Amino acid sequence: MVVIINDKSMAISEAKNLARQSVRAFVTSPSNELAEVRAYQVIDLYQNRLSESEKLKRGIAMTITCSESPCLTKGGKVSVQIRVTAKGVDGLTSDVVADASEFVDLWR
């Protein structure tokens, strides 16, 4: 039971942190073309630091939504949702979802 609680706790922390960092990377991007690339790069860099066994224990998915089109329109809101699917030692999986939002700088 402790291992399952620890895995869930770790997934919650990961999801919140990755959502915050990804949305920040997105809204501070110099262009719309690079914004999504930068957000996904946050996820890739994080996953590259995990061991192979840790990568297999959880999956990470990201969804990006924008209030404006193009996304980096001044004052527009960008939201990132991170879903971490944690697989416990018992084979059961649980999903953890975290959201983070930021506004695009009005003085871009």
Model confidence over 56-97: pLDDT tens digits?
A: 778 899 999 999 999 999 999 999 999 998 776 667 778 899
| pLDDT recorded at residue 89 | 67
Q: What angle do CA 40, 105, 61 make, to 5 degrees?
A: 20
Residue type, 55: K
Q: What single DSSP character describes residue 78?
A: E
| pLDDT recorded at residue 21 | 98
Beta partners for residue 97, in sequence order: 83
Specify the higher pLDDT residue, 10 or 80. 80
pTM value is: 0.86
How far is it, in rounded angstroms, from Cα 22 to Cα 16? 10
Beta partners for residue 44, in sequence order: none
**91 φ, ψ to 5°?**
90, -10
How far is it, in rounded angstroms, from Cα 94 to Cα 39? 24
Measured from the Cβ of residue 62, the count of other Cβ atoms closer than 10 Å reads 19
Specify the higher pLDDT residue, 53 or 63. 63
User: Would you call 93 helix, strand, or coil by DSSP?
Assistant: strand
| pLDDT recorded at residue 4 | 64
**What is the overall mean pLDDT for the chain?**
89
